[in-house]
Amino acid sequence: MNFVLLTDNLIVNVILFIFYGSVLIQLIYYWGIFSRLAFYNHKNQARQPQPVSVVICAKNEYYNLKENLPLILQQNYHDFEVVVVNDVSDDETYFLLKLLQEEYKNLKIVNFTDNVNFFKGKKFPLSIGIKCAKNDLILLTDADCKPESTEWISQMQENFHSGTEIVLGYGKLKSEGNLLNKLIRFDTLHIAIQYFSMALAGSPYMGVGRNLAYRKSLFYRQKGFISHYKIKSGDDDLFVNAAATSKNTKIMISHQSHTVSDAKKTLANWIIQKRRHLTSGKHYKSSTKLNLGIYSFSQIVFFATFAALVSIDYTFLIVYSLLVLRLISQMIIFKRAMIKLNEKNLLIGIPFFEIFFIIFNPLIVIYNTVSKPDKWK
């Protein structure tokens, strides 16, 4: 095995050039973009707290609300309300909310008894919940999410200063140790590394509704979800993609600011969820699709060209050296990002998880083109 850059075989040289290019692109993403999250340091600063309205949409979420809603209502914060939109539930959700309202005076119930949502999805009930909120600062989460600490609201509102209108938070998933859980948590981590890092690089493009805050005035200025109202998904990422700028968006990743929820328990349920999430991507801004597309395509090309070089027995020392360099870079960035986001027990499996999603995600996209995902709940 010789340390050579090129051979006397034209086809092999083309493959080598493509391999070198894919490695270069990957290293640019890891050290030029993803390192921004990996080496990010947020300094807490004392600022005047602002009133907050937490908005939650619920459809047949009795058990989740029973477990999680009191933890939100008991937040250590001086001025906040919790608006729960009960979207035509046919379980005991409404009666639970009424009982909780007797104990917590800052709970506001918006109750839909008839299906007036002419578009499938979460956007209509969420819009009504935001409009019913009394405060300008809106903090979103889901019924199946619980805050990691009593300081969740306090932490998420902290960065609303100096023109900030959007704060992206982290919605982590519970660790359960099995392979499916690790795949789902890796996917969540990988996506978070991308959207947090891009926001820090001045190109915010998405957030997740499990933990997302923005100003009500921004919501009105954007005319809510009107530009993508007929798309079932995207109440979080498409809104951020349309409204976020380098100047009005910040991130909050302190461990106290996280929310946590259960990952899907079965592969079938996860695929349903994944299909719904991937429907939004094609509606992103062209610049966003280009950035994400280059990164994803360079991943595919990297592994494909490496496999080709191995199969034709042209694995020079430089090929293995670049493979190791990329792996080390990946491990450093992911390890530091995992520390920032309080994720554990994923590092060793990352190369295998990456290969899985390189195959899995395109298959889901293809599946979505021939069979559209159904409603949000």
pLDDT digits (tens, 9 = 90+) for 113-124: 877 666 667 889
The Cα 359–Cα 307 span in angstroms is 14
Q: In the prediction, which pLDDT does 375 show?
A: 47
Residue spans per domain, the chain: 10-39+287-370, 52-266
pLDDT digits (tens, 9 = 90+) for 293-332: 999 999 999 999 999 998 887 767 888 999 999 999 999 9
In the structure encoding, which two tokens stand for residue 113, read together? Answer: 């008894």
The Cα 36–Cα 253 span in angstroms is 13
Per the document, the length of the chain is: 377
Q: In the prediction, which pLDDT does 280 show?
A: 82
Whether the pLDDT of residue 2 is over 60: the answer is no
Closest CA to 31 of 19, 41, 23, 20: 23
CB 52 within 8 A of CB 152: no
CB 277 within 8 A of CB 233: yes
**Cα dist. 334→47, 160, 202 in Å?**
32, 28, 21
CB 129 within 8 A of CB 53: no
Closest CA to 206 of 196, 221, 214: 196
Whether the pLDDT of residue 365 is over 70: the answer is yes
Residue with tokens 């119930």: 109
Instruction: State the CATH architecture for 52-266.
Output: Alpha-Beta Complex (3.90)
Whether the pLDDT of residue 353 is over 80: the answer is yes
Q: In the prediction, which pLDDT does 285 show?
A: 92
Closest CA to 218 of 260, 169, 290, 164: 164
CB 277 within 8 A of CB 207: no
pLDDT digits (tens, 9 = 90+) for 155-199: 999 999 889 999 999 999 999 989 999 999 999 999 999 999 999
The Cα 31–Cα 345 span in angstroms is 23
In the structure encoding, which two tokens stand for residue 121, read together? Answer: 């999805």
In the structure encoding, which two tokens stand for residue 10, read together? Answer: 């034209």
Sheet holding 137-140, edge to edge: 107-112, 80-87, 52-58, 137-140, 212-215, 166-168, 249-251
**What is the rounded average pLDDT of the residues 15-42?**
96
Q: pTM for the whole thing?
A: 0.92
Beta bridge partners of 173: 261
CB 14 within 8 A of CB 304: no
CB 336 within 8 A of CB 248: no
Q: Of all residues in the chain, what percent carry a pLDDT higher than 90?
A: 76
Closest CA to 30 of 319, 336, 251, 318: 336
CA 18 to chain CA centroid, nearest Å: 31
| Amino acid identity for residue 185 in this structure | R
| Residues sharing a CB contact under 8 Å with residue 11, sequence separation 6 or more, in sequence order | none
**Cα dist. 70→99, 130, 146, 261 in Å?**
11, 20, 9, 15
Q: In the prediction, which pLDDT does 182 show?
A: 97
| Residues sharing a CB contact under 8 Å with residue 83, sequence separation 6 or more, in sequence order | 53, 54, 55, 56, 108, 110, 129, 132, 133
How much is the CA Rg of the chain, to the nearest whole Å?
Answer: 22
The Cα 334–Cα 332 span in angstroms is 6
DSSP assigned state of 143: T
> How many angstroms separate the most distant Cα atoms in the chain?
81
**H or E stretch at 107:** strand 107-112
